[in-house]
Structure 1
């Protein structure tokens, strides 16, 4: 992945059907130092522009409701295309219903920026995208390469996004499980240094998996990082009591995941 060092290096594709809203966001981007901004008004035009020009530092900022498809369908199409799947995606929307936003959270989106928003909120989303595009340089390469990670998530898109981040860190020894039950079977025969798991999964969820690891697994001291879109504080508190090492929200900032993984190496 090519390096991008500042917001000025970003090439933003803004997908916004409202001319007024597009101008507003474009001005905000320019105030943040973004030089290259291309505006399109529908998903088809966005996919065509992305296919035609694989610009360094490309980032997509999209509205949720587009004339030809939803922003959730746009990010799904990007994640299903090997040439576009690594491009950071930022959703801008006034939508708050979890069932509508969940596909975006699971897709590996960098950020969801709620309307109305200010430049500071947009800036944070942009820096999260820039951080995703920048491989870290401060981790011990030999130590990272030896790290064995078990990745547990029922969402293929989410697993792929996390796998890309791990591989950018230099981690190659990654085992995947589609739910807690499969993870339990793998843990019985495979030694790991870190478990990264979702919360809401069929068969056995993240809390049940954490409880199993802490009370029944021979690897009961392994660090467990939960990456989840769960918003229920009672459920998250139950996960913490079960013994999870850290919780990170979806969508998450790449830097947060890298920091938590780095901390797990020093324990």
Structure 2
């Protein structure tokens, strides 16, 4: 993993109502060398702290908070222009997909499952650091004219991907809210890369991949699927349809960069 930011440069806002859990996580963060740790116990306090200081800030939040669930905290962050790019790490023992889905779709950096160890927390922190200051591991000259189509019904996910691509030097980015809109755009203009979600209205990711591979005049375009879908049968069907690569949500910024690099060299 290529890193450009030391954990000592990070400030962590820990949102945890349990004093015992907060103390445990704070000790792990200090052991990892995190420069500054601020602890609050409500979503309201977290938003107030972020509005006062958000530079180089990473939020680590529990799912269940006294005033708002962590899913609504991250949604509130993504709704504010200054906070929408702040990395968010959820720490939770929750496993139900329907509960975690809003976090996956929000552009969260990581979901760390309880109980967790210091190594797992460290990986999430480095992913956040990588998101804040991406390494220049792609030849800018090679991608400056890359035309990318992002297809996702989640506005937060599209914004998250758009920011990552922009920081890589990619400026020619088009967005679609579902597969049907993507088909219309693909009929009108050529693209060099499609990044799509799986679960979408009108036309889902599998149907979009099948359309591109069998009916589009751009049948050979690389297609990356970034999805929270866990059904292995559905994902296998997508692979058979001809997707170039699949990446889980939430994803690490470095993973997307590697997939883009791979797609350019095929």
TM-score (norm 2): 0.97
* 8 Å contact kept, 2:4–2:135: no
Aligned residue number for residue 116 of structure 1? 115
Deviation at 1:134, TM superposition (A): 1.5
Aligned to 1:66, the other structure's residue is in SS state coil
Q: Which runs of 4+ in 1 moved over 6 A?
A: none
Question: Gaps spanning 5+ residues in structure 1: where?
Answer: none
Distance 1:158 1:166 in 2: 12
Deviation at 1:237, TM superposition (A): 0.5
Distance 2:76 2:58 in 1: 15
Aligned residue number for residue 165 of structure 2? 166
Distance 1:141 1:157 in 2: 26
Distance 2:75 2:256 in 1: 22
Deviation at 1:206, TM superposition (A): 0.3
| 1:197-250 deviation digits (Å, cap 9, x = unpaired) | 000001110000000101111100000000000000110000000000000000
Superposed, 1:122-161 pairs within 5 Å as 122-161=121-160
Question: Gaps spanning 5+ residues in structure 2: where?
Answer: none
Aligned residue number for residue 218 of structure 1? 217
Distance 2:207 2:124 in 1: 32
Aligned residue number for residue 34 of structure 2? 34
| 1:97-147 deviation digits (Å, cap 9, x = unpaired) | 111100000000000001111111111111110111122212221221100
| 1:247-267 deviation digits (Å, cap 9, x = unpaired) | 000000000001111111222
RMSD across aligned positions (CA): 1.0
Do residues 233 (structure 1) and 232 (structure 2) align? yes
Aligned residue number for residue 47 of structure 1? 47
What is the aligned residue count?
264
* 8 Å contact kept, 1:223–1:264: yes
* 8 Å contact kept, 1:4–1:133: no
Deviation at 1:4, TM superposition (A): 5.8
* 8 Å contact kept, 1:4–1:10: no
TM-score (norm 1): 0.97
Aligned to 2:239, the other structure's residue is in SS state helix
